[in-house]
């Protein structure tokens, strides 16, 4: 008689509060009846001990291990309790709803479980409504008032400013004048060598000494060659300078290439402007 009374009191207290895991059967239709397999019952008992000392995570592990052996509805109810008390409402709702479908409880247990589900869904809805966006919304651009003109668009300065056009006249081209002047000097120097060579050749023709004739003739040939080379080079520079002055335009003057070449018949001056 004492045993039956103790069992009845325990069941009434458990159903009235619906605050902890249940493990004591009272009738054949008890939705919180213990599993039939001994190993599953051992996991249930150990999970209840952990639950009572508020070690909910360890209790969850024991309840899941027992459910894998025998999926009794009591495991879903106990898992729902653990997850609810630890604030994991989505997992708790899932196990509570699974318990309602499988155990089909009635009366106070049914009402209590539905109240738990409603409370947690309400909390989740409140959290969703107050949740800040993961990224701030972009600030909309404010259009200027209709009465005021829109500010002019500023263009970033170019890294390569346009070249300043030269307004110098053709006679201000110092490089062209330099080429022409150097050419004129070269022609004069070359003419001097040619004139000196002519005099030496005349002296060689006038002498009767063969050695003196050879010396004067050699000097005359050397000066004649120098005069020809320098004179032709000077003429080339003069012509280049004149062309440079002739093609002078408003664009900045620049000589990118200038060179000289020699051949058997003269000197070649070339360049690119």
Boundary of a domain, candidates 109, 129, 149: 129
Q: What is the pLDDT of residue 191?
A: 82
Q: How many domains are contained in the chain?
A: 2
Do 200 and 88 lie in a common domain? no
65 with 116, same domain? yes
For 209, residues 6+ apart whose C-beta sits below 8 A from its C-beta are none
178 within domain boundaries:
yes
pLDDT of residue 140: 61
137 inside domain: no
**What is the arithmetic mean of pLDDT over 147-159?**
55
Averaged confidence pLDDT in the chain: 75
Whether the CB-CB separation of 34 and 74 falls below 8 Å is answered with yes
CA distances from residue 19 to 1, 159, 244 in whole angstroms, order as listed: 27, 75, 106
Q: pLDDT of 159-209, one tens digit each?
A: 555 544 545 565 667 777 787 788 788 788 878 888 887 888 888 788 888
The band of 250, judged by pLDDT with boundaries at 50, 70 and 90, is very low
pLDDT range class, residue 133, cuts 50, 70, 90: low
Residues 209 and 265 in one domain: yes
Give a yes or no: residue 18 inside a domain.
yes
Q: Examine the pLDDT at 44 and tell me if it is beyond 70.
A: yes
* pLDDT at res. 175: 75
- pTM as predicted: 0.41
What range defines the domain where residue 58 resides?
2-129
Model confidence at 48: pLDDT above 90: yes
Q: Is residue 135 part of a domain?
A: no
Do 39 and 117 reside in the same domain of the chain? yes
């Amino acid at each position: 008689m004492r045993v039956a009374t103790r069992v009845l009191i325990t069941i009434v207290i458990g159903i009235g509060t619906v605050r902890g895991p249940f493990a004591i059967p009272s009738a054949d239709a008890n939705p919180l009846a213990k599993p039939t397999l001994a190993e599953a019952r051992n996991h249930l008992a150990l999970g209840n001990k952990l639950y009572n000392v508020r070690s909910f995570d360890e209790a969850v592990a024991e309840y899941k291990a027992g459910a894998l052996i025998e999926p009794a509805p009591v495991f879903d109810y106990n898992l729902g309790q653990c997850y609810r008390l630890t604030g994991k409402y989505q997992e708790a709702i899932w196990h509570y709803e699974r318990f309602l479908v499988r155990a089909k409880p009635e009366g106070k247990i049914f009402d209590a479980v539905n109240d738990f589900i409603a409370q947690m869904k309400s909390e989740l809805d409140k959290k969703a409504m107050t949740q800040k966006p993961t990224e701030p919304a972009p600030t909309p651009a404010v259009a200027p008032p209709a009465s005021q003109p829109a500010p002019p668009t500023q263009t970033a300065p170019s890294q390569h400013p346009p070249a300043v056009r030269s307004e110098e006249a053709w006679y201000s081209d110092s490089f062209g004048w330099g080429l022409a002047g150097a050419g004129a000097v070269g022609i004069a120097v070359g003419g001097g060598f040619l004139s000196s060579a002519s005099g030496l050749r005349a002296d060689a023709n006038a002498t009767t000494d063969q050695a003196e004739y050879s010396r004067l003739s050699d000097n005359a040939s050397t000066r004649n060659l120098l005069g020809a080379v320098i004179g032709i080079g000077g003429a080339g520079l003069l012509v280049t300078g004149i062309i440079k002055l002739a093609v002078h335009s408003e664009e900045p003057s620049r000589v990118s290439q200038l060179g000289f070449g020699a051949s058997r018949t003269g000197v070649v001056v070339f360049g690119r402007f």
